[in-house]
Amino acid sequence: MTGRLGLRGRIAVTVLFALLLPSVLLSVLSYRALRNRAEQDFRARTLASALSDFTSAANSIRSQVKPNALLSANEALAVRKFNTYVVYAMKPNPDGTGYTAPDPNEPVDPDQDPNTWPGLKATSAGANDAHVPLTSLADFMNTGDCPPLIDERHLNLVHPAGRTWLLVGAIVGKQGPDDRYPGAPVLAVENYSLQPVDDETGVYLRSLLLVSSATVVVGALLAWLVAGRVQRPVRAAGAAARALGAGDLTVRLPVSGRDELSDLSSSFNQMADHLADTIDQLTRHEARQRQFVADVSHELRTPTASLLAAATALEYPTTRDSAASLIAPQLRRLATLTEDLLEISRMDAGEATVAPQPVDLADLVADVVAHSESPESVTVRTEGDTSADVDPRRMHTVITNLVSNALRHGAAPVEVTVRAAEHSVVVRVADSGPGVPEELHERVFDRFVRADPARAFGHGGPGGNGLGLAIARENARLHRATLTLTNEPGAVFTLTVPKR
């Protein structure tokens, strides 16, 4: 994707940062812990080494190995020490409040042997005290008196800020008669480089960085590969959605596993199935609507043409009487067709309503038979309590269409059976004709369906318009009733109506 990360990139970057941040944090914490431990070990070794050195220097001063204390301490430290050290001949303050280091440029007294006066300091070869002035010598002065036996309590350790050195100092003795300031303390300071600690922890830090980098790189690579597996079904879903949007209703996604992606695939397939069914229903509905319009046009053409011909014939005295006799039947046919079409339209629009009330279906059947075209050709049988909650007008229409259809398109005698079931009332209308042709069984309840080329089957009134059985089925559906057809061998229509 141009200008932005795709799903795969976003997943990889997220995992990269999720690994990088903890790795950096753990590395820093591990390094600091190791550094602290290494410094603590180094401090312990430093104090032990300094204690041994300073004890040797103190013993040398007490034994007067050299003419003065500074040279005695210097010689002892030079023999024992491999680190830098400094020995100071401290000078009493004029106010008697303590000691300070003498000025290195202070001139030698006339009675002082320059060879035995080390000035400010006495050091071994290669000693370096450039870092000592950063720390006040007072930090190393515990007492003006040299203890008989030096221990760790008399050692002072200082780590100058910003320096990789540790400084350890202690008073190792007093200046003797040959020193510049007899009775003043002799201060020894040893300097220990932290470079070994830096080297040790540096190796560990580089190892941590290497391991962390490898972890992050491997994790990012795995995230990229896993993201690719995640992205493939997502891309497939996108391609399927585009194909579905372009009109390919057969596209489906493979479903495997039980994870979220399989749920996505299942949901997409269900949506596609539902959409295909809906479009199929709409297509069939549109086809039915076109056929309905064509059938309505055809049905209206006949009575309209007849009325037009009759109106023309009324203009001539010789044909006026015959024309007048044609007008009334065609008008009745047109009125029946119009009423049936309006009823069908109300049903299609969902505006048809049912006003149920307790009705004895046996009485309703008797009324229909009494007003039928041939009451003497119809036999009615009743069994049990045939009362049900129905809309009398709509149920009367259903039974009328069934009885009229049996009389006009079947053969006498016609038998109507009304019997009570456990939760329903069954109305069975059977004629003695040849039955409905097999090829019409699936379409007999469709609109404008007839059994013969003259389109005379399934009418709803005089002349037959093919809407009677369609209206009967819709009225039955409004009552949550069922209407079925069988041949035994005549046509048998069975209406099952729930009692409540």
Backbone angles phi, psi at 484, to 5 degrees: -125, 165
Look-up of token digits 């450039």: 130
pLDDT per residue as tens, the chain (500 positions): 444 667 777 777 887 788 788 888 888 888 889 888 988 898 898 888 888 888 888 888 888 766 788 888 888 888 776 667 778 878 887 887 777 776 655 555 555 555 444 443 434 333 444 445 545 666 777 655 666 667 777 777 777 766 677 888 888 888 887 777 888 888 888 888 888 888 888 888 888 888 888 888 888 888 888 877 777 777 788 888 888 888 887 888 888 777 777 888 888 888 888 888 888 888 887 887 787 777 777 777 777 777 787 778 777 777 777 777 777 777 777 777 777 777 777 777 777 888 899 999 999 999 999 999 899 999 999 999 999 999 999 999 999 999 998 888 888 899 999 999 989 999 999 999 888 888 887 788 887 776 554 434 333 344 456 778 888 898 899 999 999 999 988 899 999 999 88
Q: What is the pLDDT of residue 112?
A: 52
User: Cβ neighbours of residue 309 under 8 Å, at least 6 residues apart?
Assistant: 323, 326
Q: What is the pLDDT of residue 313?
A: 77
User: Cβ neighbours of residue 293 under 8 Å, at least 6 residues apart?
Assistant: none
CA 406, 410, 412, 416 torsion: positive or negative? negative
Which of 340, 345, 344 lies closest to 465, judged by CA?
A: 340
Report the amino acid identity of residue 379. Answer: T
Q: What is the pLDDT of residue 230?
A: 74
CA distance 366 to 370: 6
CA distance 381 to 362: 9
Provide the 10 A C-beta neighbour count for residue 393: 10
SS3 string of the chain?
CCCCCCHHHHHHHHHHHHHHHHHHHHHHHHHHHHHHHHHHHHHHHHHHHHHHHHHHHHHHHHHCCCCCHHHHHHHHHHHHCCCEEEEEECEECCCCCCEECCCCCCCCCCCCCCCCCCCCEECCCCCCCCCHHHCCHHHHCCCCCCCCCCCHHHCEEECCCCCCEEEEEEEEEECCCCCCCCCCEEEEEEEEECHHHHHHHHHHHHHHHHHHHHHHHHHHHHHHHHHHHHHHHHHHHHHHHHHHHCCCCCCCCCCCCCCHHHHHHHHHHHHHHHHHHHHHHHHHHHHHHHHHHHHHHHHHHHHHHHHHHHHHHCCCCCCHHHHHHHHHHHHHHHHHHHHHHHHHHHHHCCCCCCCCEEEEHHHHHHHHHHCCCCHHHEEEEEECCCEEEECHHHHHHHHHHHHHHHHHHCCCCEEEEEEECCCEEEEEEECCCCCCCHHHCCCCCCCCCCCCCCCCCCCCCCCCCCCHHHHHHHHHHHCCCEEEEEECCCEEEEEEEECC
CA distances from 348 to 153, 285, 334, 352 (A): 106, 11, 21, 8
Q: What is the pLDDT of residue 413?
A: 92
Q: What is the pLDDT of residue 105?
A: 57
Q: What is the pLDDT of residue 496?
A: 94
- Output the six-digit token pair for 9: 């990139």
Which of 429, 432, 434, 430 lies closest to 411, judged by CA?
A: 432
Q: What is the pLDDT of residue 276?
A: 86
User: Cβ neighbours of residue 389 under 8 Å, at least 6 residues apart?
Assistant: 356, 357, 358, 359, 499, 500
Q: What is the pLDDT of residue 162?
A: 65
CA distances from 426 to 413, 422, 429, 458, 498 (A): 20, 10, 10, 21, 9
Beta bridge partners of 378: 414
Which of 100, 85, 91 lies closest to 189, judged by CA?
A: 85
Q: What is the pLDDT of residue 124?
A: 37
- Output the six-digit token pair for 450: 């007839």
Q: What is the pLDDT of residue 104?
A: 56
